[in-house]
């Protein structure tokens, strides 16, 4: 069933050869597996381009025990004293090496980054660290120097091949889920959100859960419908409904994409005199969202400010 679990997790590749990657990175990853010599790594690039998927695929192929920690949620120094220390200090039953995947490492506090630098050295005999980041400039230089940096920025020579491969994978998911689709609509979705493969899959699943098919309405109707539900809750000053919308959408969509969707639809829902205030609020919460501990709390605060500050058009 569409609602049972996220497709991005159900269909996450387990092997390097199944990952949709630029040629240079796939070559490096295959070399790591062949030599069984995994370095500390920093995987950098835009959202949804396969950084976390590659890290997990490497661990699967090398049969390394690993732990994945989302640094946008677990950002304090206590992280080092608990999860990292316990995992790095434990004995692996499967291999002589373990891996700590620090997802969204650019959200780590400066104190945590400084502490992590020492842990990388202390546990170098038994543990490797893989950091993923959308904004590598927010990570301190000593961590850059301790990691092999792989840049997921897609070059022109890779775009056509990767888009075709994403199309093939996307169609495969829809076939397995028993969802009817219009190939032209799928292609348009990929063109709009490429190279964010995660966003493509999430938007597909959400739209399919509403309509049961993937048709030409996906690009317009999906975002409009979801934003409209949020706006209706704000207009009615129903925090309960707004919070429910936030929880449901954060489960399948990155918060930065939600802010952008609201921005794109302001003229349809907000009185002209309130649009400047709305833009300032969106910009403020976008920035704060990059370092927030709990995205749900952050977006709930955003909803409250929108309710209190804006004049809404009549429905």
The pLDDT assigned to 217 comes to 78
Q: Which residue has the higher pLDDT, 173 or 107?
A: 173
pLDDT of residue 165 exceeding 50, the answer is yes
Q: What is the CATH number of the domain that holds 193?
A: 1.10.8.60
- Decide if 120 is inside a domain: yes
DSSP output for 206-250: HHHHHHSEE-TTHHHHHHHHHHHHHHHHHHTT-HHHHHHHHHHHH
Please count the residues of the chain. 315
- Expressed as residue numbers, the domain containing 205 is 156-220
pLDDT of residue 209 exceeding 50, the answer is yes
Q: Average of pLDDT values for 5-27?
A: 93
Select from 151, 170, 199 the last residue of a domain: 151
Looking at the structure, tell me whether residues 210 and 122 fall in a common domain.
no
Number of domains forming the structure of the chain: 3
- pLDDT digits over 57-92, tens only? 999 999 999 999 888 765 556 666 778 888 888 877
Looking at the structure, tell me whether residues 64 and 133 fall in a common domain.
yes
H/E stretch holding 105 reads none
The pLDDT assigned to 1 comes to 42
DSSP 8-state assignment for residue 100: E
Looking at the structure, tell me whether residues 61 and 144 fall in a common domain.
yes
pLDDT of residue 162 exceeding 80, the answer is yes
Looking at the structure, tell me whether residues 27 and 147 fall in a common domain.
yes
User: Could you tell me if 215 and 185 are in contact, meaning their C-beta atoms sit under 8 angstroms apart?
Assistant: yes
Looking at the structure, tell me whether residues 250 and 294 fall in a common domain.
yes
Confidence of residue 248 (pLDDT cuts 50, 70, 90): confident
Q: What is the CATH number of the domain that holds 254?
A: 1.20.272
- Decide if 6 is inside a domain: no
Q: Average of pLDDT values for 162-179?
A: 95
Select from 151, 182, 199 the last residue of a domain: 151
- Decide if 10 is inside a domain: no
Select from 220, 249, 266 the last residue of a domain: 220
Q: Which residue has the higher pLDDT, 110 or 194?
A: 194
Looking at the structure, tell me whether residues 178 and 271 fall in a common domain.
no
The pLDDT assigned to 306 comes to 94
Q: Average of pLDDT values for 196-210?
A: 89
Cα–Cα distance list, 81 to 55, 77, 87, 121, 156 (Å): 23, 7, 10, 16, 44
> Nearest 5°: phi and psi at 237?
55, 40
- Decide if 139 is inside a domain: yes
Looking at the structure, tell me whether residues 91 and 131 fall in a common domain.
yes
pLDDT of residue 2 exceeding 50, the answer is no
What percentage of the chain has pLDDT greater than the value 90?
Answer: 52
- Decide if 4 is inside a domain: no
Calculated CA dihedral for residues 299, 211, 269, 245, nearest 10 degrees? -20
Looking at the structure, tell me whether residues 194 and 131 fall in a common domain.
no
Output the pTM of the full model: 0.72
- Decide if 5 is inside a domain: no
Q: What is the CATH number of the domain that holds 107?
A: 3.40.50.300
Looking at the structure, tell me whether residues 57 and 146 fall in a common domain.
yes
- Decide if 208 is inside a domain: yes
């Amino acid at each position: 069933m569409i609602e049972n679990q996220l497709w991005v997790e159900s269909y996450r590749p387990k092997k390097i050869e199944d990952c949709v990657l630029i040629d240079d990175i796939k070559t490096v990853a295959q070399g790591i597996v062949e030599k069984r010599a995994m370095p500390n790594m920093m995987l950098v690039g835009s959202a949804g381009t396969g950084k976390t998927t590659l890290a997990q695929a490497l661990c699967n192929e090398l049969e390394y025990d690993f732990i994945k920690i989302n640094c946008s949620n677990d950002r304090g120094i206590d992280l080092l004293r608990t999860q990292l220390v316990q995992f790095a200090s434990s004995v692996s039953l499967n291999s002589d090496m373990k891996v700590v995947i620090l997802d969204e490492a650019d959200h780590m506090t400066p104190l945590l980054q400084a502490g992590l630098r020492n842990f990388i050295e202390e546990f170098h005999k038994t543990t490797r660290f893989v950091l993923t980041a959308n904004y590598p400039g927010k990570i301190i230089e000593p961590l850059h120097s301790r990691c092999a940096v792989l840049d997921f920025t897609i070059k022109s020579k890779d775009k056509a091949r990767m888009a075709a491969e994403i199309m093939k994978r996307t169609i495969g998911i829809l076939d397995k889920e028993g969802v009817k689709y219009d190939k032209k609509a799928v292609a348009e979705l990929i063109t709009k959100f490429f190279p964010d493969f995660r966003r493509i899959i999430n938007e597909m699943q959400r739209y399919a859960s509403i309509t049961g098919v993937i048709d030409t309405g996906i690009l317009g109707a999906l975002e409009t419908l979801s934003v409209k539900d949020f706006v209706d809750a704000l207009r009615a000053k129903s925090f309960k409904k707004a919070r429910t919308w936030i929880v449901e959408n954060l489960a399948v969509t990155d918060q930065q994409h939600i802010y952008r969707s609201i921005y794109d639809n302001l003229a349809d829902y907000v009185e002209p005199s309130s649009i400047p205030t709305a833009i300032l609020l969106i910009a403020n919460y976008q920035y704060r969202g990059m370092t927030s501990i709990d995205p749900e709390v952050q977006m709930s605060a955003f909803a409250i400010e929108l309710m209190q500050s804006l004049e809404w058009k009549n429905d």
